[in-house]
Each structure stands twice: as C-alpha cells, then as structure tokens.
C-alpha cells in the first residue's frame, strides 16, 4: 500500500483519525473539521492538522471547498476498510474505519456473509443517499440480465442474507429494493433533474408504514416455554414493529411460520405469526415463509 511508511510513523490514535476522515470522504462525500472534533473529542487545532495531513498524504482523494474536504473521482483509499465494519458504521453508528488492530475480544465464532458488496459501489450509493442525488447504473436481474436503470436511493436494507438498496426506480416508476451486489457501473447523474417529492423517502409508503406483528411459539414445538424464554416473550408472545418494506425479510430471516394453518414443520421452525392477516398490505409479505395473500 502506498504511503505505508508514512502512516507507520504516526501514532495509532492519529491513524485512527485519518481512517475516519477517509471513511467520511469515501462514503459520505465530504468531511469537515467538526466531524473529527466531535467524533474524537480533540482540540479544534488538532482536527485541522489531521485534515491537512490527510490531504498531504492523499492529494488525489480530496479537494477543499467551502471549509469542507470533498471526494474526488480519483479517490484511492489509503486504509483497508472491512465491509462488515463499514456497513455497521453506516447503519448503526458503530465505530467506523478502525484501521488499527482490533481490541481484546472473547473467543467466539460468527458466520461470515457469503457475499460482500463492492466498497466502491457501496460508497457511490451512500454518497448519493447523503447528497440526495440520482444514480445511473447497470442492474443484473435474475429474470432479464443486465439492464440500465436510473434510481434515487434513500436507504440501505439488510435482509439478513444480503444488502439491498431501497430506492425509487425511475425506469420502473416505483419504489423497490435492488440487491447491492447486482449493481454495476453506478455513477451520480449530475445533469439529471433533482429528485421530486414523489421520489424521496417521505413518499415511500411501504418504508414509512409500520406493521405490528405478534409472534408466538410454534404449536409443533413440545416446549413453548423454552421458546418464550429464548425470545424474551411477555405472556407467551413477542410483539415487533416492522416497516412494510422489510417485514417479509425479517420473517424469513427468523424462519417464522406465516402460513394460515401453522402447517410448516422442521427443527428450524420455532415461531409462528399469531395472525397472518397482520402482514396484509406489507409490500414484502410475499417473502415471509408460508404466507398466502388473501384473495
């Protein structure tokens, strides 16, 4: 990695701050002194020095405009950014872009995702979300193969198996989910008309509508009290509130039997939706295991 020697001469704390600056530039398109000062609680002068140093180390990554450092198309990261940490930082506010060694942990095992989004594509999407821009891209559909799209993205969605982009699809004329790993050649459309109110997050009915679902132990399981304990149920049920755009994904991830007669079987099936009618009207309901739409 270029500049390795220069970076190694810095303290671990300063490398962490520089990695954070790079993270902000790459995935939000901009970083200002206040971001460094607020994140690390350093003096204003120290924040300024870090920004100047980052630009000296990576002059092709940022430009200075209106008291902010902005992303340049010639950007090449100085630090290695782990996709899981990046996505956690973008969606949960967890500590971002830790380029140093990991802190002490307890011995553990956790499954890795089989597919990880390309960070350059992810960064293009998140910059567009942050700036409220439209994106032109090529989307690889399972049915039709590659096709050009113009979208207005507003959110990231974790289905439990893969990451999606929630966006208004100008090509299709409605809000929908696009699998992030199927996106190619994404680029901001500078001369496109700015997103109208009908294309923004406030107009996405399925994103903004919340569905309250009641989950109970599956009747096929011999010890419902154990399941209730596993899931922290109160009075034998777990009440969850989910967006219509993601409710089906969550039911599938949790393997909840949403069939009309609770007829699903298997060791993995421990929960059922107490009343499948609670999913009616959710745009993602078809993804829920066993769900049958009313006639």
CB of 78 closer than 8 Å to CB of 18: yes
**Domains parsed from the chain with CATH numbers:** 4-81 (1.10.10.1470), 119-196 (2.30.30), 209-287 (no CATH)
In angstroms, the CA 76 to CA 61 distance is 6
In this prediction, residue 109 carries a pLDDT of 78
Percent of the chain with pLDDT over 90: 82
Helix (H, G, I), strand (E, B) or coil at 81: coil
In angstroms, the CA 34 to CA 192 distance is 31
Rg of the chain (C-alpha set) = 23
The first and second tokens of residue 283, run together, are 């745009």
The answer on pLDDT for 63 being more than 70 is: yes
Give me the chain's average pLDDT, please: 92
- Tell me the per-residue pLDDT of 226-269, one tens digit each, with 9 for 90 and over: 999 999 999 999 999 999 999 999 999 999 999 999 999 999 99
CB of 217 closer than 8 Å to CB of 228: yes
In this prediction, residue 89 carries a pLDDT of 92
Give the max Cα distance, the chain: 68
């Amino acid at each position: 990695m270029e500049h390795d020697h220069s970076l190694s001469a810095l303290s671990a704390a300063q490398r962490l701050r520089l990695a954070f600056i790079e993270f902000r530039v790459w995935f939000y398109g901009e970083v200002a002194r206040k971001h460094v000062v607020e994140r690390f609680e350093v003096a204003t002068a120290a924040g300024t020095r870090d920004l100047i140093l980052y630009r000296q180390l990576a002059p092709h990554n940022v430009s200075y405009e209106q008291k902010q450092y902005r992303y340049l198309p010639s950007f090449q990261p100085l630090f290695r950014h782990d996709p899981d940490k990046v996505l956690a930082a973008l969606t949960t506010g967890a500590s971002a872009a830790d380029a140093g060694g990991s802190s002490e942990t307890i011995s553990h095992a956790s499954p890795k995702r089989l597919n990880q989004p390309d960070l350059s594509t992810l960064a293009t999407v998140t910059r567009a979300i942050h700036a409220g821009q439209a994106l032109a891209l090529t989307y690889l559909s399972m049915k039709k193969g590659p096709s050009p799209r113009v979208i207005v993205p507003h959110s990231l969605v974790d289905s439990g198996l893969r990451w999606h982009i929630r966006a208004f699809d100008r090509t299709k004329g409605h809000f929908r989910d696009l699998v992030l790993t199927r996106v190619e050649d994404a680029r901001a459309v500078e001369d496109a008309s700015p997103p109208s109110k009908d294309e923004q997050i406030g107009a996405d009915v399925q994103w903004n509508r919340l569905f309250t679902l009641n989950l109970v132990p599956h009747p096929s399981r011999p010890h419902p009290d154990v399941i209730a304990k596993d899931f922290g149920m109160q009075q034998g049920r777990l009440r969850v509130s989910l967006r219509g755009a993601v409710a089906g994904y969550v039911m599938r991830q949790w393997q909840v039997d949403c069939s009309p007669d609770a007829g699903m079987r298997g060791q993995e099936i421990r929960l059922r939706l107490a009343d499948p009618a609670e999913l009616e009207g959710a745009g993602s309901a078809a993804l829920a295991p066993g769900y049958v739409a009313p006639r």
